[in-house]
């Protein structure tokens, strides 16, 4: 079960690593500067979620006296599909309501439009307006050599990725994966067993290869089987919504994906 609490300074390294793993950082936004700024304004609304000692989620909440805002909503890829994002948003709404905030606004990058359905399910609707911005302070780009990001940031020099040295992650029974990425794209070694049941229609795109075993993918009634040696190319979007299951006791895949 995830515990939600206010950010404290000892969380900074883990939090920046989380944002990088979720693809939330940009060269023009120094994440450390963003943290420092938030700690000067309503730091009690800067939320993190932990499972045991691990920091797995975040939400930067604020109220300007007219509207509430949420930035940096993030859930670790290894801890998704467990309602952690929903729990953080509900806590943000509770804290803002306590302050008399009448409405919570969100801004989403166009490159992250796929998350809109998540917010719709929470009751959010698209407003008929444009979002404009003007940069007042220009951050120095965060150093890519930051040791806190080393686990997710590939080296500038080409090097092999040793999947045998990476840990396994599991979010559902019968499924586990190893992942390496830079916050924008990732490679995953995925293993399903016959115990795995996909609960939701996946709309992410996948490109990869079946290494061993046999996989069956249901595209809303059209079932396609992928045997060992088959390539996988599934476009992103609702039209390619799919659920996968292992036909053999175990199936192993290699996937390359946008985050």
Beta bridge mates, 179? 188
**pLDDT winner (highest mean) among 78-82, 115-119, 138-142, 147-151:** 78-82
Residue 230 has pLDDT above 50, yes or no: yes
Residue 259 has pLDDT above 70, yes or no: no
Domains of the chain listed by start with CATH number? 3-121 (3.40.630.30), 163-258 (2.60.120.10)
Q: Is 119 left (phi over 0), alpha (psi -120 to 50) or beta?
A: alpha
Mean pLDDT of the region 22-32 = 85
Mean pLDDT of the region 43-57 = 96
Cα torsion 200, 201, 206, 210: sign: positive
Q: What per-residue confidence (pLDDT) applies to 158?
A: 57
Residue 230's φ and ψ, nearest 5 degrees, are: -80, 140
Residues 96-117 have pLDDT tens digits of: 999 999 999 998 776 566 688 8
Q: What per-residue confidence (pLDDT) applies to 144?
A: 43
Q: What per-residue confidence (pLDDT) applies to 112?
A: 65
**Separation of alpha carbons 55 and 78, rounded Å:** 11
Q: What per-residue confidence (pLDDT) applies to 150?
A: 37
**Separation of alpha carbons 114 and 46, rounded Å:** 25
Sequence-distant (≥ 6) Cβ neighbours of residue 76 within 8 angstroms: 18, 21, 22, 54, 56, 57
Q: What per-residue confidence (pLDDT) applies to 89?
A: 97
**Separation of alpha carbons 7 and 18, rounded Å:** 13
Mean pLDDT of the region 4-33 = 91
- When comparing pLDDT for 157 and 233, which is higher? 233
Residues 58-97 have pLDDT tens digits of: 999 999 999 999 999 999 998 999 999 999 999 999 999 9
Residue 34's φ and ψ, nearest 5 degrees, are: -60, -40
- Find out whether 184 and 258 touch, Cβ atoms under 8 Å: yes
Q: What per-residue confidence (pLDDT) applies to 185?
A: 75
Helical packing angle, 31-38 and 12-21, nearest 10°: 130
Q: What per-residue confidence (pLDDT) applies to 48?
A: 97
Residue 152 has pLDDT above 80, yes or no: no
Q: What per-residue confidence (pLDDT) applies to 64?
A: 96
Q: What per-residue confidence (pLDDT) applies to 153?
A: 42
Residue 246 has pLDDT above 50, yes or no: yes
- When comparing pLDDT for 75 and 129, which is higher? 75
- When comparing pLDDT for 48 and 170, which is higher? 48
- Find out whether 95 and 62 touch, Cβ atoms under 8 Å: no
pLDDT mean across residues, the chain = 87
User: Residues for the chain: how many in total?
Assistant: 259
- pTM higher than 0.85 for the full model? no
Task: Give the helix/strand (H/E) hosting 252.
Answer: strand 250-258
Q: What per-residue confidence (pLDDT) applies to 163?
A: 81
**Separation of alpha carbons 30 and 181, rounded Å:** 20
């Amino acid at each position: 079960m995830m515990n939600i609490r206010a950010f404290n300074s000892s969380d900074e390294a883990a939090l920046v690593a989380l944002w990088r793993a979720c693809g939330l950082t940009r060269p023009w936004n120094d994440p450390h500067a963003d943290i420092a700024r938030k700690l000067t304004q309503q730091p009690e609304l800067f939320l993190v979620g932990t499972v045991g000692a691990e920091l797995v989620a975040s939400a930067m909440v604020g109220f300007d006296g007219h509207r509430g805002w949420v930035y940096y909503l993030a859930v670790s890829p290894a801890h998704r599909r467990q309602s952690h994002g929903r729990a953080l948003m509900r806590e943000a709404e509770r804290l803002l309501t306590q302050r008399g905030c009448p409405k919570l606004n969100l801004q989403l990058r166009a490159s992250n439009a796929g998350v809109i359905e998540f917010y719709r399910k929470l009751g959010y609707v698209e407003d008929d307006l444009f979002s404009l911005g003007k940069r007042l302070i220009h951050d120095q780009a965060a150093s890519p050599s930051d040791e806190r990001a080393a686990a997710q940031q590939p080296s500038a020099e080409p090097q092999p990725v040793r999947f045998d040295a990476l840990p396994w992650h599991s979010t559902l029974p019968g499924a586990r994966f190893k992942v390496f990425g830079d916050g924008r794209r990732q490679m995953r070694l995925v293993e399903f067993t016959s115990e795995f049941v996909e609960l939701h229609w996946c709309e992410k795109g996948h490109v990869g290869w079946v290494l061993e075993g046999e996989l069956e993918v249901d595209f809303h009634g059209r079932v396609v089987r992928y045997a060992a040696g088959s390539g996988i190319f599934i476009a992103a979007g609702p039209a390619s919504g799919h659920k996968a299951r292992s036909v053999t006791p175990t199936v192993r895949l290699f996937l390359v994906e946008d985050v």
